[in-house]
Chains A and B, each alone.
Chain A
Amino acid sequence: MNELSSKIKNKNSKNNHNDIKYKTLDIICDADTLRSLIRKNEVRVVDVRKAQDYLLEHIPTAVSLPLAQLLEKDTPQGIISILQDLGISDAMPAVIYDDTFGALAARVAWSFQYVGHINTALLELTFTRWKNLGLETEKKSNRFEKVNHSLNMNHTIYADASYVEHIKDQPGKILIDSRERLNFLTEHIPNAKNIPYTMLGSDDSILRSAREIKRYIENRGISTDSEIITYCGSVGTLSGLTYYAMKLAGAQNVKLYSKSFKEWKSLGKPKEEFRDANYWDLSAE
Chain B
Amino acid sequence: MVWRPTFIVLNKKASISSVKSNQKNVSTRTLTQKWANEEETEMFAKNVRLFRQGKLSEDDFRRFRLQHGAYGSRLQTNYSMVRIKVPSGEITPEQLEKIASLSESFSIGSAHVSTRQNVQLHWVQLEDVSEVMRGLADVGLTTREACGNTVRNVMCSHFAGVCQSEEFDVTPYAKALARFLLRNPLCQNLPRKFKINFACCAKHGLVRIADIGLTSAIKDGTRGFKVYLGGGLGAASFIGHLLEDFTPEDKLLSTCMATIRLFDRRGNRENMARNRMRYLVHELGWDKFQKMVLKERSIVEMTTASSTARLFDLKEENEVMLPSKSITTTNKIIKPLPMLNEQVTVESPVYVRWLHTNVVPQKQEEYFTAFVTLGAGDITARQLRVLAGAIREFSIEGTARNTPQQNFAIRYIKADMLHEFYNRLSSVGLANTGALTIASVVGCSGTTSCNLAITNSHRLAKEIQSKFLELGLDTEDCLRDSTIKISGCPNSCGQHEIATIGFFGGASRIGAAMAPTYTMLFGGSAGEHGELGKGVMRVPAKRVIDTISKIIEIYKQERSGDETLNQWINKIVRGEGAGNVKNIENMKIELLPITQLAPIEQDAESYVDYGNDIKFTAKTARGECAA
Binary contact readout A17-43 vs B (1 if CB under 8 angstroms, 0 otherwise): 000000000000000000000000000
CB of A277 closer than 8 Å to a CB of B: yes
Q: Is the CB of B108 within 8 A of A276?
A: no
Q: Is the CB of A277 within 8 A of B448?
A: yes
Q: Is the CB of B107 within 8 A of A277?
A: no
Residues of B within 8 A of A51 (CB): none
Q: Is the CB of B378 within 8 A of A278?
A: no
Contact of A284 among B374, B449, B456 (CB under 8 A): B374
CB of B623 closer than 8 Å to a CB of A: no
B101's nearest neighbour on chain A, judged by CB, is A203
Cβ < 8 Å to A, chain B residues 118-160 = 122-123, 125, 127-128, 130-131
CB of B459 closer than 8 Å to a CB of A: yes
Q: Is the CB of B462 within 8 A of A199?
A: no
A281 in contact with B458 given A180-B108, A181-B123, A199-B106 (CB within 8 Å): yes
Q: Is the CB of A285 within 8 A of B429?
A: yes
Residues of B within 8 A of A279 (CB): 108, 122-123, 448-449
Q: Is the CB of A221 within 8 A of B52?
A: yes
**Cβ distance A229 to chain B, nearest Cβ, rounded Å:** 19
Q: How far is the CA of A281 from the CA of B108 in the complex (A)?
A: 11
Q: Is the CB of A280 within 8 A of B74?
A: no
CB of B447 closer than 8 Å to a CB of A: yes
A185's nearest neighbour on chain B, judged by CB, is B123
B103's nearest neighbour on chain A, judged by CB, is A198
Contact of B108 among A199, A216, A220, A283 (CB under 8 A): A283
Q: Is the CB of A199 within 8 A of B122?
A: no
Q: How far is the CA of A223 from the CA of B256 in the complex (A)?
A: 49
A282 in contact with B445 given A181-B107, A277-B74 (CB within 8 Å): yes
Q: Is the CB of A276 within 8 A of B619?
A: yes
CB of B375 closer than 8 Å to a CB of A: yes
CB of B109 closer than 8 Å to a CB of A: yes
A194 in contact with B125 given A221-B52, A279-B448 (CB within 8 Å): yes
Cβ < 8 Å to A, chain B residues 16-50 = 45, 48-49
CB of A211 closer than 8 Å to a CB of B: no
Residues of B within 8 A of A196 (CB): 105
Residues of B within 8 A of A163 (CB): none
Residues of A within 8 A of B456 (CB): 278, 281
Report the contact-size class of chain A (Cβ under 8 Å from the partner): 20 to 34
Residues of B within 8 A of A281 (CB): 448, 456, 458-459, 462, 610-611
Q: How far is the CA of A181 from the CA of B610 in the complex (A)?
A: 21
CB of B73 closer than 8 Å to a CB of A: yes
Residues of B within 8 A of A216 (CB): 127-128, 131
CB of A219 closer than 8 Å to a CB of B: yes
Q: How far is the CA of A277 from the CA of B45 in the complex (A)?
A: 26
**Cβ distance A279 to chain B, nearest Cβ, rounded Å:** 6
Q: How far is the CA of A199 from the CA of B132 in the complex (A)?
A: 11
**Cβ distance A109 to chain B, nearest Cβ, rounded Å:** 23
Q: How far is the CA of A277 from the CA of B107 in the complex (A)?
A: 15
Q: Is the CB of B458 within 8 A of A282?
A: yes
**Cβ distance A248 to chain B, nearest Cβ, rounded Å:** 16
Cβ < 8 Å to A, chain B residues 435-483 = 445-449, 456, 458-459, 462
Q: Is the CB of B110 within 8 A of A278?
A: no
**Cβ distance B460 to chain A, nearest Cβ, rounded Å:** 9
Residues of B within 8 A of A198 (CB): 104-105, 109
A199 in contact with B105 given A277-B76, A283-B110, A284-B379 (CB within 8 Å): yes
CB of A166 closer than 8 Å to a CB of B: no
Residues of B within 8 A of A181 (CB): 107-108, 123, 125
Binary contact readout B73-114 vs A (1 if CB under 8 angstroms, 0 otherwise): 111100000000000000000000000010011111110100
Residues of A within 8 A of B609 (CB): 278
CB of B383 closer than 8 Å to a CB of A: yes
Q: Is the CB of B378 within 8 A of A284?
A: yes
A283's nearest neighbour on chain B, judged by CB, is B110
**Cβ distance A132 to chain B, nearest Cβ, rounded Å:** 16
**Cβ distance B124 to chain A, nearest Cβ, rounded Å:** 8
Q: How far is the CA of A219 from the CA of B374 in the complex (A)?
A: 34
Cβ < 8 Å to B, chain A residues 171-204 = 180-182, 185, 194, 196, 198-199, 203
A218's nearest neighbour on chain B, judged by CB, is B49
Q: Is the CB of A278 within 8 A of B128?
A: no
CB of B237 closer than 8 Å to a CB of A: no
CB of A144 closer than 8 Å to a CB of B: no
Contact of A274 among B76, B445, B446, B449 (CB under 8 A): B76
Q: How far is the CA of A220 from the CA of B130 in the complex (A)?
A: 11
Q: Is the CB of A182 within 8 A of B108?
A: yes
A278 in contact with B379 given A181-B107, A285-B429 (CB within 8 Å): no
A277 in contact with B447 given A199-B105, A221-B49 (CB within 8 Å): yes
A282's nearest neighbour on chain B, judged by CB, is B448
CB of B9 closer than 8 Å to a CB of A: no
With A220-B125, A285-B429 given, can you name 17 additional A-B contacts, CB distance below 8 Å?
A180-B108, A181-B123, A185-B123, A219-B127, A220-B127, A221-B127, A274-B76, A276-B74, A276-B75, A276-B76, A276-B619, A278-B611, A279-B448, A281-B456, A281-B462, A282-B108, A282-B122
A-B contact pairs, 12 of them (CB 8 A): A180-B109, A181-B108, A199-B106, A203-B101, A220-B125, A276-B74, A277-B73, A277-B75, A278-B446, A281-B462, A282-B449, A285-B383
Chain B residues near A (Cβ < 8 Å):
45, 48-49, 52, 73-76, 101, 104-110, 112, 122-123, 125, 127-128, 130-131, 374-375, 378-380, 383, 429, 445-449, 456, 458-459, 462, 609-612, 614, 619
Nearest 3 A-B pairs (CB), nearest first?
A: A284-B378, A278-B611, A281-B459
